[in-house]
Structure 1
Amino acid sequence: MNNIRTYILLAGSLFALASCNDFLDTVPDDRTEIDSEQKITNILVSAYPEVSTILISELASDNAKDNGALYDIYGQIQRDAYLWNDMTSEDTDAPKYIWDAHYNAICSANQALQAIELMGNPESLNPQKGEALLCRAYAHFQLANLFCMPYNPQTADRELGIPYTTAPETEVMPDGIERGTLSQVYENINKDIEEGLPLINDEVYSVPKYHFNKRASYAFAARFNLYYLKFDKAIEYASTVLGDNPANDVRNWKSFSELATDFELRCNSYVAHTEPCNLMLVTAQTSWPYVHGPYGIGLRYGNAYNILLNEILPGPWGAYNQLFMSNGIWGFEQKYSFPKMNGYFEYTDKTAGIGFLHLVNVAFSIDELLLCRAEAYLLKQAPEADKAVADINVLMNSMTGMTFTKEQLINYYAARKYMPLHLKSEDDRTIKKKINPQGFTIPDSDTENLIQCLLHMRRVITVHEGLRWNDIKRYGIEFSHNRDGQADDVLLVDDLRRAIQIPQEVIAAGLEANPRNN
């Protein structure tokens, strides 16, 4: 490719990543024409990114610590993610593959949308059009969460976005592509969601939970609008999914944790499409969690015992063993894990033992959606704390068998000390960190303590899944990563490393890099 790499990966399956350069040398016009409903349906299978952002998000967050050079088995991608370095790794989970896979998915969605338009936009293809729009919005949303600063309406028209592409590329290296602003990215995501939502129809899917089915689409709309600071919209969309009795659909954490003696059964249960709590499942080619993640043998950077014991597992429910999901926790002092994710190896050559490790992950769930709505209730112009606590208690009951009054939750988190930026000992770790909300305000200390509660609960239920990094960015949470033999590296609220650097290949090709602090 002569050191030139396209800004976006042109459409095709993820498995083309192995021969990415050859693939990028072929323009889309040379591919099979998409001229039937079945071909449109088929191409939408590749409109979901099949590379994960979890590894970078987890290791960049406060869910990881440095256990020391003695445990440095696997190196560069872990080290760079943990230290918020600009990454040049060739690992599947590196920025270059995340970027390519997401734009690959976007281009597939755009091809489907173009084909539907050329066929005259028949009503029979409305479900496929809706799915394509939601896929396009989701892939851009994932890229923005990783490679951009958090959305803040006061600064979003000055913050760098990512290229928002709405048509299949007809050139390998299109001229004039720019990153645009974060404000423009969010406006485009919102437009695609609003247009796509009413078109979704679950009847076209054989296994709806591997697609943007109706409930998953509204859950995505709720999370997006929460991040977009449109709190009333977030509540409206979440309520469409949750209905009158969300307790019917939350995960039964007690029953789930009773499967703990069978690791594979528990992992399979967590991501089962028959589980009512799971709204959408996604697959990814990734070395997380079995190489670099919670179950891997690379122990230097990870979710160590001291983090779980002091920052995640204790709560208003009491000690860690009062939390159902603690049953079956396992690992080493350097890395403790919850049996909730499983890897599946796909052989490309069984004789040679060559293939890809895949992960199935829960992209949207009833549990996390409840916390989205509770957060929106607390942050809306006229806060509704009682409704937020009601949602918190639905989830709290499933996690612990307990419920709490609003006053009990406020008092518990008010009594906790903020965790210091620099730890004198591991005992300094606490569940509470100072927050600096980006683009919104928290009206009073009682509301802040309820926010601390839901941030804590989201950290618990999504541990190993990458969402903590989004909360760190949105709430401007300041914390430090310890470094063996060196001073702590502190991530302050205005640290530009909160936007992971875009791939070096696209910078070399002319796309503007994320700025860095001097």
Structure 2
Amino acid sequence: MKRHILILSLIIAILSFASCKKFLEEQSQTDIIPRNAEDLNQLLVGNAYVASGIAVERSLRLIDDDITQDGFLLSDANSARFGSYTWQPEGRVVADDIPGANAWASRYPQIMACNLVLQYSGKVSGTTAEIENVEGQAYLLRAYHYFMLVNYFGKPYTDRLSNPEQDLAVPIMLDGNLSLEGKPRNTVAEVYTQILSDLEKGILLLERSGKNNNLFRISHVGGYLLASRVYLNMGNWPKAIEAATNVLNRKSTLMDLSSWGAVNQNTKPIVELQNIETIWGHGDVSVIPRSGEDTNYRLSDGLLSIFEPGDLRTTVYIANKRSIKRTIASGLAKVGQAFRVSEALLNRAEAYAQLNKLGQSNNGQLALNDLNTLRKKRFTTASYQDLTSTGADDLLQKCALEKRREFFDEEAHRWFDLRRSGMPEIKHVFYPNNAQSVTYTLKERDPAYLLQIPMSILNLNPKLVPNPLPAVRQGQ
């Protein structure tokens, strides 16, 4: 079985960097065909989950407004960090690590692994529950990878000046017999339609299988949480509420920071499987840079200023103006990202607040209830006070601030939220030397709010229309 999976993994790796005609053309190659549900399970683990060594979002943490450079770094003017931090186009820096450069090359092989599992799931041995469980995981993982890709390379679904039925996103690939050549980009709407289809199938299969996956594996609860994200990005507020409620009906326990005890970034970080809020832990911590690790970047003053007195996140999540949500010790097997229960509350609160703004005023208090449920677990008992609202816009602002406080430095949440809230202007201060500072500006609705499809990918497939290329960005 291990031999089967190793060869399948090799094929996926090869196809991610080169074109292909057909996979498994000769059925006589029996040693590369999965035989049972466990073979498919191992194929998912090794190739469809965000695995160790794949730094899909290494540079994304440097492009939002939650990060700032803390001072002069000798190497930064020629580094990938500079290119990401100052929103430069590809080729502006020595290192080819612009935001999104490795996302395309990493996520499509993971999608291919999902496709292969679904292609072979009806041809392998195993119980109905085993096969449905692995199929359900494959559908949900494919939905997750496409959700990330469409938000990297496509315009926001709800952007007032865009049209999801026409705007280009990424190619949809749904089988294992793939060629990366000659495949055009699908529209934003088409990708979201595929995501919703995969979510519906995956959730149904995982619930029906009755198998309890461990936290390293995505479950139907994780599927509902992802659905709440997707519907929030689509502006479908009732469906976002329904999906988030499905999460909270199945798992609603929140960590209480007032009883957290002594903070230790390595033995009990926030992003970990042992956190009682964790629904799904994924990725490897070693390939996701933390604020300040090997660099001189820290959390921005804009982020730090929104925390209120008594908010325990300022000590449990932050130290020395840097995130301490993840372990930094080498040799510890810790996840790099996680789906958490608190997101379900925040997604539902925003959806309620959006309905409130549309005139359904009974939803305003429901939004406040969700925000306060979370905040009670984040403040000292002496300092906690229920939030109140002065109006619909004020309530939406409170939802946005709470999301920013809770999920900075996790899963590109802030970048995606900035995109769908109008793509506002961002300024980053850069230090070219010890005596000078230069300000770089990402303008409102800047072309750099869409990541560039890497030139290496465009050269392989001339049918891929590139996103608008930002000019070389000059500091002021």
| Residue equivalent to 1:115 | 120
| Residue equivalent to 1:271 | 271
**TM-aligned CA deviation for residue 27 of structure 1:** 6.6
How high is the TM-score relative to the length of structure 1?
0.75
**TM-aligned CA deviation for residue 53 of structure 1:** 4.6
Cα offsets for 1:443-470 (capped at 9, x unmatched): xxx2221121121111111122131111
Cα offsets for 1:290-326 (capped at 9, x unmatched): xxx3141311x4324x34542x42x3xxx3xx11122
How high is the TM-score relative to the length of structure 2?
0.81
| Paired letter, 2:101 | K
| Residue equivalent to 2:256 | 252
* Alignment CA distance shift 1:263-1:494 (3 Å): closer
**TM-aligned CA deviation for residue 98 of structure 1:** 1.9
Contact 1:377 1:385 in 2 (8 A): yes
| Residue equivalent to 2:150 | 144
CA distance in 2, matches of 1:288, 1:490: 25
CA distance in 1, matches of 2:259, 2:189: 43
Residue 402 (structure 2) pairs with residue 457 (structure 1): yes
* Alignment CA distance shift 1:100-1:488 (3 Å): same
Contact 1:218 1:238 in 2 (8 A): yes
CA distance in 2, matches of 1:11, 1:298: 38
**TM-aligned CA deviation for residue 345 of structure 1:** 4.8
| Residue equivalent to 2:353 | 378
* Alignment CA distance shift 1:128-1:244 (3 Å): closer
CA distance in 2, matches of 1:15, 1:345: 29
Where 1:180 maps in the other structure, the secondary structure is: coil
Where 1:482 maps in the other structure, the secondary structure is: strand
CA distance in 1, matches of 2:98, 2:384: 39
Structure 2 unpaired stretches of 5+:
1-6, 472-476
Q: Aligned runs of 1:379-418 on 2, under 5 Å? A: 379-380=354-355, 381=358, 382=360, 384-400=363-379, 401=381, 404-405=385-386, 407=388, 409-410=389-390
| Residue equivalent to 1:325 | 313
| Residue equivalent to 2:3 | none
Where 2:165 maps in the other structure, the secondary structure is: coil
**TM-aligned CA deviation for residue 486 of structure 1:** 6.7
**TM-aligned CA deviation for residue 12 of structure 1:** 2.5
Moved more, 48-57 or 209-218: 48-57
Q: Aligned runs of 1:28-67 on 2, under 5 Å? A: 28-29=23-24, 32-45=32-45, 46-50=47-51, 51-67=54-70
| Residue equivalent to 1:503 | 454
Percent pairwise identity = 22
2:191 to 160, 168, 185: 185
**TM-aligned CA deviation for residue 35 of structure 1:** 2.8
| Paired letter, 1:64 | I
Aligned length: 437
Contact 2:272 2:338 in 1 (8 A): no
| Residue equivalent to 2:392 | 447
| Residue equivalent to 1:169 | 177
Residue 88 (structure 2) pairs with residue 85 (structure 1): yes
Cα offsets for 1:355-391 (capped at 9, x unmatched): xx98613431111111000001111353511000000
Residue 295 (structure 2) pairs with residue 298 (structure 1): yes
Structure 1 unpaired stretches of 5+:
1-9, 347-356, 411-445
Where 1:158 maps in the other structure, the secondary structure is: coil
Where 2:427 maps in the other structure, the secondary structure is: strand
CA distance in 2, matches of 1:226, 1:14: 36
Cα offsets for 1:132-167 (capped at 9, x unmatched): 111111111111122222112751122220111110
Contact 1:28 1:168 in 2 (8 A): yes
CA distance in 1, matches of 2:125, 2:267: 47
CA distance in 1, matches of 2:204, 2:257: 33
| Residue equivalent to 1:424 | none
| Paired letter, 1:156 | P
| Paired letter, 2:85 | Y
